[in-house]
Structures are given as C-alpha cells and as structure tokens.
Structure 1
Amino acid sequence: MSAEIHAGAATPLPAVERRLSSTLRMRLAAWRALALAMLSASAAPCAHAQTPTASPQPQSTVRDAGLLQRTASPDIAFFDGAHPPVDLLQAFDAVVTDPASGFEPNAHLLAHTAWIARTRAGSGEASSFVSQQIEPLWQRGYRGFLLDTPGAVAALDAIHSAHPDARLMIGGDDALQAALPHAAALYAVVGASLVRGVAPGGRPFDVAAAERAARIDAAQSFMRRTGVPVISIELCPADDRACARTTAAQVVASGVTPYVTNAARNVVGIGAIEVLPRRVLIVQDRARDVPLDETPGVRDAATPLNYLGYDVEYADVNDTLPDDVAPDRYAGVVVWLEGDDPHDGAAWRRWIDARIAAHVPVAFIGQFGFDAAGDEGPALDLQPVAGPFSGPLSIVSRDPIIGFEAQPRLGPRDLTGVRVGAASRPLLRVKSGEATLDPVAITPWGGYALTPYTVVSLNGIGQERWAIQPIRFFAEALRLPPMPAPSVTTENGRRLFMTHVDGDGFASRAEFPGPDYSGEALYERIFTRFRVPMTLSVIEGEVGPQGLYPQISPRLEAIAHKMFALPYVAIGTHTYSHPFKWEDVSAQTGERVDRGGGDTAFSLNIPNYRFDIDREITGSIDYINTRLAPPGKKAVVLQWPGNCEPPAIVVRKVYAAGVDNINGGDTVITKSVNSWTNIAPIGIAKGPGAYQIYAPNQDENVYTNDWIGPFYGFTRVLETFDMTERPLRFKPIDVYYHMYSGTKVASLRALDQVFSTVLKQPVLPVQITDYAHKVLDWRGFAVARAVRAADASTGTATNAAIGAWIVRGNGEVRELHWPAANAPDLRASRGVTGYAAGPDGTYVHIADGAARVVFDAANAAPAAQPAGASAGAVPYIAQANGFVRRFTRDAHGMSFEFGGYYQPFVELANAQRCSVSMAGHPVAARRDGAQLRFDTPPAVGLKIDYQPVEVACGD
C-alpha cells in the first residue's frame, strides 16, 4: 500500500470507507488532514529528511538548520513491569519505563541503551515541572523522557534547555501534531497503533484497513517533514510470539518502527528487532544429598546447550517451580527425570501444561513424570500403547542422531508405552511383537528422548556415552534457531589460552638437586621460561606463619613474593585451609556442619583453627595482599579447592569480596574417555548472584591418577585440548595444574611439553580473570535479529542467513560463533572488525561488545563463499594476537586501538592497497599477497598498553 499523499488531489471515497460510521469517517478525515497539512508546510523538502530504517546503534544526530539530521530510526522498547529484564532489553537503543515501578536506572547503566522515563504533568509552570519531576529522574539515571500529556509537552523546551542531550519523545493523543513545533529537539514520536491497538478501557482491537492506511499516511508524512522517527505500539497476547512477529513485520513494511507488546507492557516485545531469549530452564529430580554440580542436568545437558549459545538455570521438580517461564524470557525447558514421579503429580502436570500453552518448547529426557499418553495425550499428539512388552525388539526407523556415541541394548522392559501422532516426527521407532513405539520424537510442543535412549552407562569401565546427538536433539526439540552466539572460546579468530596454578604442595620439597621447594622449581623452569599471562595462588594455611609450617614460612613467603612480583603474573587465593568437602558447609549459614570424622577429612588440619568461611575468603585475600603481593598488585580471583562444589552462600561471599572465582567442572575427555559427557559446561548457576565459573579443563591430578603416577601423565591434556577443538570448539585452552608439579622431573617435563605445544598453536594468551569476565558477559549478552517485512506472512523468522543480527554486551565478549561457513557482509555490517574460519563455522570479530552483523544471501553457500574468502575486497582483521577496541571503518580504511600480553600482532586480509601507521608513525608490515601483518610491543605488566592504529587503503 502506498503511503504517498499528493496535496490537492481529489480521491474517491473507497467502498470500505462508505460503510464506516460517520465518527470513523471523521477520524479518517482528521488523519488525512494532518498528513496534508504537514506536506503543505514543507513546500521545499528538507535535505535531511528520509524514511527511517531499523538500526541497532544509538541514533546518530547532527544539527542542520535547527532540525535534527538522523541516519536511522532507534529501536525503542516500552516496559512497565517492576523488574525489567535488563540483559534482553539492552538490545534496544532506548527503553521507556514507568518511574513509579521502582526500577532504578543508576543500578543498570548500559553502554548502548538509554533509560527513558514516562512523565506526566498537569497545568503549571514548566520550570516547576523540570525542577520537581525531571531533575529527580535525571539523578536516578534516566537520560530521556516520554512526554504524553499536554502539560508535559508544554515543558519540552524547558527540559531541552536544562538537558540538551536528553532523548525527548512525545506521545499521547494527537502526538504527531503536538510534536511538529518541537521536531528539532525530538528523539522519536509515539504515534497511533497501525495494526492492533487498544480501545478505551484497555480492550485490544484490530485497526480497520482504511484507518490504518490513513495513520500510515500521516506517520510517513510527518517523518518526511521532520526526519523524526515514529514508533507504533501494537498489542498481542503476552505468550503469542507469532502474533507479535507478524504484527511487527506488518508495521515494518509500512516504514514505521513497531513495538509489539502486551496490554500490561511487562514482556520483552518485538520491534524492528526481535530479541532471542538465551536462557533454558532445566527441571530435574535431584536427591537432597546430591550436590547440584553432580546432577545430569549439569554434567550432561548443560554443555550442549552452552555450545548452542544458551545459558542454563536449574529447578527441582519437587520444589516450587517458577511461574514466569515465558517465551520472551526463556528459549525452552528441559526436563530430566530419572527417579520416581514428582511428589505432586497434578501440580507438575499443570505446570507443564502452562508452559506448553504459553508456547515455551519443552524437551523431556528420561521420563515424562506423568502419564503422557493418558487423557490429555491427544492434545500432545501422543497415543498410548498397551503393554507389557515382551517380544523381540526391532528398529522400524531411526534418525542419524540415534546411537551417537553408543547404541543402548534393546530391551522391551525399558520401554514406555507411547507413540506419536501424525503431527509429530519419530526419531526412533521400534517394534516389540505387535506393538509399535516411539522412544524418541519431535512433537509440535517440543520433543522427548525416553530411557534408555539418553545417556548410557558403561558399567564395566565406569563411563557414560550419549545415545542421541544432544546438540541436534536440543536444537530441534526446543526450536533453537541458528544465531551468531557470543563466544568465550575465541577472540579475533584465535582460540583463547590461559593458565592458572592452585597452591597445593607449595611446601613440598623438590625431589631432585637444585631448587628446595616446588614453588622455586616452577619459578626456575616454568614461570620464567614461559612468560605468558598466568595466575598463581597459595594456600595461606600452608604458607603463612600461623599455618601448618611456621618454621619454613619465611622461605615459602619469599618464594611466593618473588613469583607474585613477575610482571605477567596475576594473584589468586586458594583459601586458608583448603576445604575438601564443600557438602559439609551449610547452604543456609556457610558454617561447617559436623557429619563425623576429624578436620583432616574436611580441610587441612591447622592447629587451633575452627572453620570460618570469612577467614577462608576475605582473610586469605587480606593475608596475600598485605604480606605477599608486591606494590600495585592484589589478589583478583579465588580458585576453588577440594571437590569445588561450594554452596550458593559461599559463592556470593566471593563476589562480595570483590574477586572472581574459578575451578570445578570435569572436562577430562581423552581418546580413552571419548564422550561429550566428559566436557563440563561453562559454569553453574547456583542461585541469584551465585554463578560459579568452571575451569575450562581439569588439572594434572586427574591425568596422573590422583598423583599416583605416571607423573608425566599431564601430557594427555593435549588430547583434551584437541578433542575440545575439533570437530567442535567447545572450550578454550587452560593449562591448569598444582604447585606440587614442581616436585618431580617427570611432571616438570610434562609441563614444558604442554606449554611448548600449545604456544605453537594459533592461540591468544589471556589472564584467567579475562576469561571469567567474558563468561559473566556471555550470560547476559543480547542477540536480536532484524524483523523483515517478509516475516509478516508466516509469523516466523525467515532464513537466519538473510538479514541483520544485532548483538550487545558489556564489551568483554568480542567474538561471535556463527554455525555455518557464511562470511559477514562487511559493507552492510557495523562494529564488525573481521572474521575467520573455525573448525565449526565462522568466528566473527566485533568491537566493544556491540555490532550489527549482516549475512548476505549471496554468501549463504559455503562452496560459493567460504569463510576465508574476501567480501567485496573490504579490508578486515583476519586474526589478531591481542585485543581490539574503539574500532571504526570508513571508505578509506579503518582505525582502532590494539594491544596484547604476549607477542601481539594483527593480520589484515584484503589489504593489498593498505598501509599501517601506529601512533602517527609508519609501521614496517610484512606482506603476503593480500595479507598484511604487523607487530606491536607486548604489555609490560597486567595492564594492556593500547596503541592507536590507522589503516589507510587506496591507490
């Protein structure tokens, strides 16, 4: 439908309008009159006016003849709930909230998103309105204001005078007309709904086609006249994302910026972008004496979900389950049940039914926890199959995901009597006698994999194997779209490499001539030989004068002080007494719970010491900072000791102490233990503010059979590094070991071999705290896709490789993993510094944690456009052994700041006509065809010395 209106043209009244009420015809006439008036007022078109298009970047503006020149329409969300989901909403350029909700923007300041307050005012002085309402809101962190009453609009000039940088918006009745005199100061205008509006009293209604056309005409005319974008708020039921997606696409097709939400405005709506939820809830039946860390949801399910880009939360099926698991916040629910049915079966079934009714995909592993093929079976497209089953089993059909690492032995007694209907797709269909059953299937609401087609125990060797390919199964069952997911394994095309050392054995004697203690041996043969960023730690109770060895404490402290003084060494604490059994620490108080046995079984048996969690954490940190750390350094991380399974209250205390945390998880996959079940997740959410970050892989204790031998066994960690890189890059590299590795020649040689091998690979050395910060950013990283007009006909997103993706974080994550060979279109993308082919797709480099990435349809076929090929001869960063920030690109080249810890360099592609200068001086770069490489000085200490780089390209 054309939005053009020609002033003075006589248009016959369409037949549909002749049937409308006189009131509605008067309203249509008013809208058309407004459009005509705005066109008439612009006899000479403004040079800066244009139809806005969606953009993930903050709206850029420059002044021109008293008006704002805008390059794109901002993406604006509207949220009136008390607890805005900040992580998701940061995908928008601005978020309008109700200040009365209690939300405090100062506690949630974002680099790329402004908080805007909805304000209302009656009659009165504008100056009073500014001082009494605007100023307090400004102090709370609001940086924009939506004025939707005549009194508030009347104060607009006063607000603009007091805060010229404030993002000002006008809404309410007749917003377009009210905004016209103030266009020069406006960020956006909230116009009338175009598709699904709200009637007086809050009742949603569909906007009639004729009135919609008139509203579109008025909005388009206003935008052409002023250059100010118009936002249309539309309403759909909270759980109906298909409705929201279709409605948003319809508005996008009209040239207006949409925001589709529910009547209460307490969901993450869909605008010109749709934010993809990246959380999955795992519900499982955990025995009370089993730590969360040891449950199958953590040990098995979380890793494939993390690989796909999803963070995981956990719930117990027999506890109160959350009622806010909605499709705007959660990508899906995984149910992993292995024991008895839930205690309250009726409540469990109601909860599942509510999730399915809300269009949240559900994947069952093991059991349903209810009679899935009972009375409600037809609604789930499930059919009961009467048992018992005793005949021999045969396979009728099998998808390739079945039998991924192991094929379970076929036995009729393990089968559940269920078969899917025509709307579902069986992944495994078997026959027992005359009965046909489907143990694994994809259904309209999700999917399931029933026992034994889940994780198979190999009891003879104490190992496990996946009976299904879990990444494919979860992606299909939960309808997880391919997306450019934030990566914690890679930066600038190179796999991350870190190393950290736990303090155990620092007081142990070296078992060969020369150094006296293990720390001294490591200092001589490892710490000073491999000058890479590393984190070293001690156990205070082993090293300090009040600990186990007061007689040798001066010597141990001297070694510790010397190693901590190395400029590339960061400092960690391994606690005071090294608790071994964290299950003996109360989850409620953090105190030790005496379960029998002496202190030796719980921690180091330090004389006259009674366990105190604060002494373990802040006490050990204070000891290190005051007695061992050189000037300018402090302890920055706590490295979990023992079984590394602390309760949530202890994890929160570490965050409160101002340090990071690391350790735990069991990534020990090798050629002899070859299963994804031996790859741990990124970390574990133990509750609000209690996220434990797992070590990327395990230490030498595992590879030496608990330090029994062989003591060269740590060389097998190289198998782990390789098997978590190919065929899929699950993990970065972490050379993680203990101080006692310095006691033996064999273990020292193993370390030398491991470091030497790793440093020959394309890695990017980082500190363990850099990795920890990336993990925390990864959890809240926002990924959104641009809504396309083509989506309007289906209510679903079109080919993910076509169109734009918007990503935003706090700046720690600077790499995206795209699970295909597509190269990004560098001309259409923004914030993309480059890309590189990986073992499992394309790794896209981004700057400062925010980007708009476009994958062009022309580059969709891997054979036609491999990840390493040029993209229109635009120069880009192919790889860099360091960190890029403040990146900009123009027609003549690019500029950025660069620095790194260890042998930093940048390699540019498509750079045959480029030259490089650094800090204003030409750089001698090495050329290889269209590739260009230059080196920069390494960091002297822990702080990166960033150098300004200019890349000039042209004839």
Structure 2
Amino acid sequence: MKRRQFLQTLPQNRFLARFLTRAGGLASLGTWIGGLGASPARAAGEAPPCNCGDCPSCHSAQAGQTPAIAFYYGSRIPLDDLRAFDWVVLEPEHALKQDPEVVKNLAPRTLALAYVSLGEVRPDRPYYNDIPKAWLPGDNPAWGSRVIDQTAAGWPQFLQQRIIGPLWQAGFRAFFLDTLDSYQFLAKTDAERKRQATALQSTLRGLIAAFPGIRLLPNRGFELMDATLAKATLAVAAESLYRGWNATSKQFVEVSEPDRQWLLARFGELRSRYRLAGVAIDYVPPEQRPLARETAGKIAAAGLIPWVADPALESLGVGTVELVPRRVLLLHSCQNGDSPELLNQSAHLYGAMPLEYLGLVPEYRYVGAPAITEPLAGRYAGVVLWADRSDVPDATDRLLARARAEGIPLAILGQVDPSVLTAFGLRVGQDALPGPLAVQRQPGTPNGEIVPLVAAANAFRLDAGPGSQVWLRATAADGQTMDGAAITPWGGYALGNFAVFNLPGDSGTRWSVDPIAFFRAALRVTDAPMPDITTRTGRRVFFVHFDGDGWVNACDRPGSPLACEVLVTEYLEKYRTPTLGSIIVAEVSHEGLYPALADQGQKWARRMFALPHVEAGSHTWSHPFDWVAASDDHNRGTPTKALPYGNYLPVPNYTFSTETEVVGARNYIQNKLCPPGKPCDMLLWPGDCNPPNKAVALAYKVGMRNINGGGATITRSEPTLSRVWPMGIPKGRDFQVYAACSNEETYTHNWTGPYFGFERAIETYQMTDSPRRLKALDVYFHPYIVTKQAGAMSLHKVWQWAIRQTTHPIFGKQYSDSVLAWRQATVAALLDGGWRLRGTPALRQWRVGEHTARPDLERCSAIAGHTTHAGMRYVHATSDQAILRVGGQSPLPYLIDANADIIRFETMPGGGWTLEFAGHVPLQANLTLPPGWRVQTGPAVQVQLGTGTARIDSRDTRAALRILPKA
C-alpha cells in the first residue's frame, strides 16, 4: 500500500482508533502506539543498544532479556506491579497525583515515560487555555480535541516550557510522543504536509537540545525520523498489528493483511536504517487472556516487542513478560478501611494470613467503596469477600459480577446475604432448616481444624450447583441440606461457621476448612514462584527483638539488680545473635518516671547499644497504651484517662505528642544513648500496637522502619491457624509490620503467671515451621521477663533452643525491610517459558511447591541453588532480578543453604563460579558438589566433603569461595 493510499484510510484506522481514558477524559495513546528500545535487528532476547550502564535497558541487557514495556493510563496505578516491566508509559497527571516521586520510586529497574500529545490538545489539559487559539486551527471531532499547527512560531517554546519542562522537573527523562501525524488534519497538499512535518521535526530536535539526555518514544512519525532524532529515540511505536479496536463501532477487529504488511515494512525500514526497535500494541478483551497471549506471541515472532491490552490501556496486559498477579482484592465491612479499626475485621484476622502464605498480597477494600472501573484481569489474582455484616452494597455485587465475567476467581466467606449467592447460580431456599443439624466433611476433601456446630436458625437450603465440590454439608432433620462450604466453577465459598467457628464460651476459634487449601483451590493458585520472608538463603530466618518495658525494674534476686543489668550481662553479652533492642525514654530520662534510676538506666542502655550485634530501636517516649485515644484526648484538650495506666505513661510535665513519641524519642536514643554513627532507625510499637496512620507515616518520613503487633501464639493446646497473624496491616499509604511471633505476655497471661510460660513459645516456633513454614523464628520479649527467676530461666531456654536450630540470623530491621520488599516483589512469566523474578536486596528468597521440577541452572540467571523444607522448594536468587527455569538434569553444583546472604555470584571463564557470603555469625554453608568439582577457599574457611556435598565453615562472618570444575 502506498503512503498516500494509507493516509486515506486514517480517519477510519488511526484517529478513530484513539480513545480517551475514563478518568479525566485525557487524550490517550494514539492508534499506532508503540515501541520499546530493543532492536529487532538483533537476535531475539537481546537488549537495545545503550551504553549508560545504569538504565533499565542496560539492566535487561545484562540479564540477557529483551526489555519489557507496559502502557498504563488509568488513574489507579498499580505501581508495585509495574516494577515487573522495564519501561512503563504513564499518564503523568495521574501518576504524579498518586505519587509525586513516581519516577524515583520505579527506578532503577523500571523507566517511567510520560505521555505527551504533540499533535492535539484537549480542553481538559491544564495548559489548554494558555495556548493561543490561532495555533489550533483544526479539530478532531471524534475526540473533542484541537489540532496544533506545528508551524506556529511559539509552539516549540511553549512545548518546552509548559509541557515538557514541568515533567522534567518531576523527574521524567523519557517521553512517549503521541499524535505526531495529526497535522494531516490541517495539511491538504503535499507542500503543506512537508511544511508541517519539517516544523515538527525541528520541534523534536529542539527538545533534544533543550533537555540533554532526553529519550523519546514516538508514536508512529515514521516520516520524521532522521539520524539526529534516532540517537535520542528508544523505539518507534505503532498499534494494531494483528488485532485492533474500532472506536466508532466499539468493536474489536482483526487487522487486514495489507495494513499489517505496510506496518511491518515501516518497522523494517527503521530497523535497517537506524537499528530502532518496534513495539506493536494490540487490543483484545480483558477476559480473553489466552487470546492476548497468542497475539503477543505472534508479535514477538514478527521481531517486535508486544503489548496486548484493553483499548483504554487501563489493564495489565501481556507483553514480553506477563505479570503473574499477586494482588487480591480483600473486601471487608470496615467503613474506615485504612484506619486502626481494620484490625478487628475477619478479613484481616483470618483471611490475610492464608493468602500471604500463598504469596498473595491482600489489597483491602471496603465493600461500600466507590466502584472500580478499570479491568481486573491481569491485575488481580482473585477477589475475596469476607463480610462481617450480611448487607453487601450494589457496587460490590457489580464488582463480583465483573470479576466473574473477566475470569477472576472469587472466594466468599463470612456473613453474606443469600441474594449474593443466587447471583452465582447457587440454589437458595427461603426458610430456615429444621434442627437438629448434622455437619459432615465430604469424602476426598481437605481436613479443617474442626467440624463446626451450625444452629438451625443460621441455616437454609443451599445447593452448590453443578460442577462444584462440596467440602462441608449440613443435613437437617427432614433431610434438606445446606452446602456450607464448596469449591465452585467460579471460585469457592465458606459461609459463617463453615469458615471459622467460634468455640463455646468464647474460648477461641477454629478453622472449619483448611484455609490455605481452600484459598488455593478457590483462587486457582498456580505453581508460579512466589517471594518468601520466612527463609533466607535456604534457612529459616531468626531474629531477636525486645520492647523497652521494665528496663529499670528490680529483679527478685539477691541484691535486687536492675533488669537492664541482668539482660545485658547474662543474655546480650552471652548470646551474640543479631538483636533489636529498644528503650522507652520515660524510663531512662532524668525528667521521666524514675529520675533516681536514670543514671543506671542510661549506663546500661549505652553498654547495650555499644554491642555490635545489637541494633538500636525506640519504644517511644511515653509508651502509648492506646495511641488513637491518646491523640484524640490531646486534640480535644482533655486529661489522660486513668484506665488503668492511662492512655500513656504519666510522665511529669509531658504533653502527649506524636512528633515527640516518634521523632523526639528517636533523637534522644540516637544522640544520648547510642555510640557515634549508630542510628536509631527502628520503631517498636507499644501498648495495643495499633498506631494511627499519622504515626506510621511520620516514622517512614523520618527514615524509620517499624515492627510489633500481630505475631503468632499457636500452641499444642490451641493448635489453630486462627492464632497466626498476617505480616502486617496497611495504615493509610504506609504499612505497619507485625512481629513474626508473640512475646511472653501471651504465654504468662499478661505477666500474671505462670512466669515460666514463655518457654511455650518453642511450641509456637515448631508449629509455625512444620507442617508449613508460616513464620520466621522471632524471639520477642520485654526486659521485665528477667525480674522473675522463672521468667529468666524461660528466656534462657528459649534463646538457647533457637540458636541450636539451623537458621539464618538477621536484624529486626532486615526483617521489616523484607516484609516491605515482599509486598513489592513481582513475578512475570516469560513468553518462552520460565519466570522473571524481581525483588530488592532485602528479599532474594523465592519458593515453589516441592513437587515442581528442580531449577535448570544452565538455563537460569542469578540463581545459586535451592533446598526443600515442609513441602516447599526454596530458590536462592543472587540479584534483584533473576530468571528461573525448571526441568532438565543440570550437572552443575549448587548452594543448598547458608546462614549468610550471597553478596557476590559470578561465573568464571572456563567454567565454575565465585560465591561470596556476608552474615552476622560465623559462616556455615552447604553445597552439592558433583564428581570432578572442587571448592577453593581462603585459610579461615574449612571444607568438609561428603558424598556429593561440601560443608563450609568459617570463623568469620564473611567468606569467598570458588567452585571449580576438575582441572
């Protein structure tokens, strides 16, 4: 097709294929979008040419992967998920509103590109009224936009100062340039077209001169490209190579063969002349995920980089990689869903932990929240409704229906109106069943912790319907049945007591179904690898942390030494494991509660923080027992409540202040108690451990991490997963990290006895490690535990037990960082098989089911080894990005486990690799060593060879090894 002939089709094929984003009506990506900076002239899998060494292109090149691009124009931007991609084109007004530092927060792995329209402008753009109307002589009625005269004398300067300049100041260095050939609306002759194109070409050169280092991603503009522009161009884009969208008829269409060949020819010209890559963006319905994968595969086979998504570019589509969704919409009944009230919702208490174990990130959402408009497919692994009230708003009904239509699995638990179930095809009766009821677990289904009692008043006839597997069924006296828990073709449900049963006498709770098996089946959880925080380099994570309570309490022993002295001399200086210690300022300050003991308290605090294996933490200034109430009292000007200690400690002349509790306490500890250079950058939440959002936000703002709340108290006498809390809870835009396990208060009935009760924490540690590893090993206590001899002995017993286990010791801050990293980590499926795993240095442990084939190390990247435990295979990544492929019989040696992090992993010329570790205790590591391989180490490292294995021991916490083939 000749160029003129093609241009005659533009009103139908190009301009009508452009669309508007729903939020704000912004002019969106042009019909022929595109391009990632990988050169199709190169072999498949190669990265585009770039020499900076630090951009996402270079990172991908080093990993041997073609950079992956995504376009996302919606207003609710999934920033964490977008880290799975190398380049992301965003609508900047949406992006900067959500996160003013979006460019910085996506870096260094992901390059953010700002959408900019050069050929048209809509009236809703903030700069529209400042553009002289003489510059806008034409319009595009299909989209309500005005066409810009590229020859207008002031347009290049306006573009630089009013459009690109502010985005440059916001951090953007790369720009997707849309509507580059809209001047065709104005130009009716060849001469006019040439004049417009020449002016636009000059405008683009002006951008390059005005903004050194700028990178461009033009939408089409094939005729504009020259050598100067090519140097600043990442790629050139176009859309609808195989499948497109007709905006007039609102229909998905197949692209004709002539149009496809014309586009391929244009891409080929740029490839051969300038070595520029092409990216093709195609459109398919969000619910047709298999078709999206098929189309992406065809685009890749044509030598282009694909992006296949919905026409509004508000979904996470399929490209060079396909995100494996980890987010789960967790719908709950708490109207103030980002407040401390969320803590008591069943969705949080019971639903979050099993989801997290499966690698899924709960995204809490109130059932009455405004409707979600963007597609769910590709972004969410599932939707879970766990309501504590039976009323479900219409918006949630529509959300559930939309999820089902898009193929998103659903799980429904708790109190639900029967009308919700009938919408999913379940047959529901109107009347209560006559008692008594007999509940039975159906054959071939997983065991729960209890077979629940169900009152007749709470039961009704319910048939799970065809294609369902019933897990729990209640049978009435007249033979009618209620299928109370089942896996269905659309997901699964467990209603009321069929999910969690409250034991009689308010004596606890039990799961009626196996929650992990239930969510795995209902949400169709795959075998894709997931990040893990319980394990590090193949060994269970172990850390110690304590709150500051009772630092200057007297011990019940001869001489009445203070708890701080006993704790430092008999524990911290004896057990040299990484420990997070904290102080309450009110307990050690001369202006605090115990001025006569302040010198002693400060002396032992300084001695403690001088220990290299103790990191400094704050347990606040006045230990708020109820921070929300204390803040409310202060804001109302009312005195502290006397219940029974008040909302915070009664510090003389102290006025409660969140600033003092967070920043003031941190500064006091860091400046007066820590040795020079040691920061106090951990905040250990006090009291009910349910701080308000503003306290959590302030901690992050001043660079502090946080921990406390949650935990785990599962024991042999209470063997229930309902006693195991999730990793933490959202507080506004931030996240409160829970302790992995609970402290002695739980085991000693709030320190009323038995005082040796803390030794039962060992039961918790064991039961959260097998049959599933649910939690890190966290020895967590208060200093006052040593004031009673029984308590002191229990702490010795627990600590000694912990250090005898095969663990990976870390600091509390490392654990807190790993939780945050876990929430951001991404898993993406590669078009050619395998997965691309992205995390941070805080988290490089991944896991798959033990039944999954072993990693094929010859086809993996940045994978040092693996080990198995409790049904899982733990895979050790050595970089922020790793490629995992499984299967095959790799003859290579690999790392089984270690008690230290891998800080260097390099292959050597001629075979073999270098491995360097850094930890906090003397190094231990285990390797497989096939015949003919050997280990080369330094003098401080001992190697003990076994049958096909090597045990590494060192007196130092750091060590380097060389694994070499037979000479």
* C-alpha contact 1:60 1:72 (8 A) present in aligned 2: no
The residue that corresponds to 2:380 in the other structure is 330
Q: Does 1:848 align with 2:879?
A: yes
Cα distance between partner residues in 1 of 2:399 and 2:510: 31
Letter in 2 for 1:779: R
Structure 1 residue 618 displacement after superposition:
1.7
Structure 1 residue 669 displacement after superposition:
0.6
Structure 1 residue 183 displacement after superposition:
6.9
The residue that corresponds to 2:29 in the other structure is none
**Counterpart selection for 2:905 from 887, 905, 927:** 887
The residue that corresponds to 1:86 in the other structure is 79
* C-alpha contact 2:631 2:657 (8 A) present in aligned 1: no
The residue that corresponds to 1:234 in the other structure is 282
The residue that corresponds to 1:207 in the other structure is 254
Cα distance between partner residues in 2 of 1:587 and 1:819: 48
* C-alpha contact 1:337 1:369 (8 A) present in aligned 2: no
* C-alpha contact 1:591 1:611 (8 A) present in aligned 2: no
The residue that corresponds to 2:352 in the other structure is 302
Cα distance between partner residues in 2 of 1:339 and 1:120: 48
1:854-902 CA-to-partner distances (Å, cap 9, x unmatched) read: 123x5xxxxxxxxxxxx51223222222111343335622235431111
1:432-458 CA-to-partner distances (Å, cap 9, x unmatched) read: 325343222233433211122111122
Cα distance between partner residues in 2 of 1:397 and 1:898: 50
Matches within 5 A, 1:539-550: 539-550=584-595
The residue that corresponds to 1:700 in the other structure is 744
**Counterpart selection for 2:645 from 582, 585, 600:** 600
Letter in 1 for 2:854: A
Q: Does 1:113 align with 2:110?
A: yes
1:280-317 CA-to-partner distances (Å, cap 9, x unmatched) read: 23223349999322222222111101101122233344
Structure 1 residue 464 displacement after superposition:
1.1
Cα distance between partner residues in 2 of 1:877 and 1:700: 36
Cα distance between partner residues in 2 of 1:588 and 1:310: 38
Structure 1 residue 723 displacement after superposition:
0.6
Change (3 A) 1:767 1:321: farther
Structure 1 window deviating more from structure 2 (835-844 vs 750-759): it is: 750-759
1:763-787 CA-to-partner distances (Å, cap 9, x unmatched) read: 1110000000111111111111124
Structure 1 residue 275 displacement after superposition:
1.1
Change (3 A) 1:158 1:846: farther
Change (3 A) 1:147 1:674: same
Change (3 A) 1:409 1:198: closer
Change (3 A) 1:92 1:222: farther
Q: Does 1:824 align with 2:855?
A: yes
Structure 1 residue 181 displacement after superposition:
9.7
Q: Structure 2-normalised TM-score?
A: 0.81
Letter in 1 for 2:596: Q
**Counterpart selection for 1:833 from 844, 864, 873:** 864
* C-alpha contact 1:882 1:904 (8 A) present in aligned 2: yes
The residue that corresponds to 1:793 in the other structure is none
Matches within 5 A, 1:208-223: 208=255, 210-211=257-258, 214=261, 218=265
* C-alpha contact 1:401 1:468 (8 A) present in aligned 2: no
The residue that corresponds to 1:563 in the other structure is 608
Cα distance between partner residues in 1 of 2:647 and 2:175: 57
Change (3 A) 1:100 1:314: closer
1:545-599 CA-to-partner distances (Å, cap 9, x unmatched) read: 1111111211111111111111111111111222223452457987787695457
Structure 1 residue 419 displacement after superposition:
1.6
3-state SS in 2 of match to 1:442: strand
Q: Structure 1-normalised TM-score?
A: 0.82
* C-alpha contact 1:219 1:230 (8 A) present in aligned 2: no
The residue that corresponds to 1:927 in the other structure is 945
Cα distance between partner residues in 1 of 2:845 and 2:264: 42
Change (3 A) 1:694 1:59: farther
Structure 1 residue 329 displacement after superposition:
3.3
1:142-179 CA-to-partner distances (Å, cap 9, x unmatched) read: 3444456366667878888999976554431547x958
The residue that corresponds to 2:892 in the other structure is 874
* C-alpha contact 1:284 1:297 (8 A) present in aligned 2: yes
The residue that corresponds to 2:25 in the other structure is none
Change (3 A) 1:662 1:325: farther
Matches within 5 A, 1:102-181: 103=96, 105-118=102-115, 122=150, 140-146=170-176, 149=180, 169-172=217-220, 174=222, 178=225
Cα distance between partner residues in 2 of 1:100 and 1:202: 29
* C-alpha contact 1:537 1:572 (8 A) present in aligned 2: yes
Cα distance between partner residues in 1 of 2:743 and 2:947: 42
* C-alpha contact 2:441 2:451 (8 A) present in aligned 1: no
The residue that corresponds to 1:193 in the other structure is 240
Structure 1 window deviating more from structure 2 (722-731 vs 651-660): it is: 651-660
The residue that corresponds to 2:840 in the other structure is 810
* C-alpha contact 1:147 1:153 (8 A) present in aligned 2: no
Structure 1 window deviating more from structure 2 (822-831 vs 587-596): it is: 587-596
Structure 1 residue 639 displacement after superposition:
0.9
Cα distance between partner residues in 1 of 2:334 and 2:218: 52
Change (3 A) 1:326 1:666: same
Structure 1 residue 632 displacement after superposition:
1.1
**Counterpart selection for 2:776 from 712, 715, 732:** 732
Cα distance between partner residues in 1 of 2:617 and 2:416: 45
The residue that corresponds to 1:909 in the other structure is 928
Change (3 A) 1:918 1:341: same
* C-alpha contact 2:619 2:686 (8 A) present in aligned 1: yes
3-state SS in 2 of match to 1:884: strand
Structure 1 window deviating more from structure 2 (778-787 vs 923-932): it is: 923-932
The residue that corresponds to 1:490 in the other structure is 535
Q: Does 1:721 align with 2:765?
A: yes
Matches within 5 A, 1:860-871: 871=889
1:56-109 CA-to-partner distances (Å, cap 9, x unmatched) read: xx657679xxxx997653211122345642211111111123456563544424
Change (3 A) 1:769 1:154: same
Letter in 1 for 2:316: V
The residue that corresponds to 1:77 in the other structure is 70
Q: Does 1:741 align with 2:741?
A: no
Structure 1 residue 523 displacement after superposition:
1.1
Letter in 2 for 1:535: L
* C-alpha contact 1:297 1:336 (8 A) present in aligned 2: yes
Change (3 A) 1:416 1:174: farther
Q: Does 1:261 align with 2:258?
A: no
Tell me how large the CA RMSD over aligned residues is: 3.9
The residue that corresponds to 1:862 in the other structure is none
